[in-house]
Amino acid sequence: MAEENPVHGTADEGHEISLPPEVQLLQDVAPPFFPEGGSAMTILVEWPPGHPGLPPHRHSGPSFGYVMEGAVRFELEGEPERVVEAGGTFWEPGGDVIHYQDGNALSDAPTRFVVTMVCAPGQPMLTVVGAEELRERARLRAPRPCLG
């Protein structure tokens, strides 16, 4: 028997509601903040095989993603690099945290993922981090895997 998934919300009577069995809860996180007056946008990213992804960057608000196909190499400041495969989710807090990697972890297949990003008013959804700041914050990056 499938376990019921509670939804953080209320029905008209003020009671917690549950998702029907046809709906699967993939991710349930509490973002550290939601910028007042912020907006949200959802994008579809389609990386060809081996695509390195975007350069290190940050978002003005939290972001939530779902990998539809392939595998994403995902790394946030202070966390070890990991691979999120199709059917997996990821999220990042936004704000000051650097997002180091979001490339295709596969050299022989495309990767597709959807990301919903919360944007602070008047700020871009994504800002590339410069080389000087990356050097200054290098101590905050998780140890890199040894390749050899």
What CATH number has the domain bearing residue 83? Answer: 2.60.120.10
**Beta carbons of 70 and 105 less than 8 angstroms apart:** yes
For residue 13, the 8-state DSSP code is T
Domain that holds residue 78: 51-115
Instruction: State CA 113 to chain mean position distance.
Output: 10
**Per-residue pLDDT averaged across 74-78, rounded?**
96
User: Does 142 fall in a domain?
Assistant: no
**Per-residue pLDDT averaged across 131-141, rounded?**
96
At residue 50, the pLDDT reads 97
At residue 4, the pLDDT reads 42
User: DSSP 3-state assignment of 35?
Assistant: coil
If one counts the domains in the chain, the total is 1
User: Does 14 fall in a domain?
Assistant: no
User: Does 84 fall in a domain?
Assistant: yes
At residue 11, the pLDDT reads 42
**Beta carbons of 63 and 118 less than 8 angstroms apart:** yes
Its pTM surpasses 0.85? no
At residue 35, the pLDDT reads 73
Q: pLDDT tens digit string along 12-48?
A: 445 567 878 888 878 787 777 677 888 889 999 999 9
Q: What is the dihedral of CA 98, 92, 118, 35, to 10 degrees?
A: -80
Sheet of strand 71-76: strand arrangement: 82-85, 71-76, 99-101, 57-58, 127-128
Residue 69 makes CB contacts below 8 A (sequence gap 6+) with 86, 109, 110, 111, 112
